[in-house]
Amino acid sequence: MRPPHFALLRRIGLDEICRQPPFADPDAAARKLVELAAGIEAVQDGRIHIEKINAPFLYKLKGSGPEFGAGIKYAKEHDWLEVHESGTYVRLTKPGEDPLPG
């Protein structure tokens, strides 16, 4: 016999409940952050203020803070973004080029 809440879960849809957030994978988050950064006009020396990519990621795309952090870390480790030690801005490591591999 199935548990009583099984019918409710079927009505809601198991896919919706079990769906992984779109940026739970650090690679996906990093790619989106680089895409956002590439679409922003940089200020002096190629600097892109962190809030210019943070706000759209969190509020428009509904990413989370930990996903943002993991994406930034992943992009930095893969040499897609350079993050200033203060954390106030980033730079694309290959401005004018497609920064992401295939």
For 50-82, the pLDDT digits (tens) are 999 999 999 999 999 999 999 999 999 999 999
**How many helices (H) and strands (E) are present in the chain, helices listed first?**
5, 3
Q: What is the pTM of this model?
A: 0.78
Mean pLDDT of the region 29-48: 93
Helix H or strand E segment including 81 = strand 81-83
Question: What is residue 48's three-state secondary structure?
Answer: strand
Mean pLDDT of the region 79-89: 93
Distance between CA atoms of residues 98 and 62, nearest Å:
25
Backbone angles phi, psi at 27, to 5 degrees: -65, -45
Please tell me the predicted confidence (pLDDT) of residue 70.
96
> What is the identity of the amino acid at 28?
A
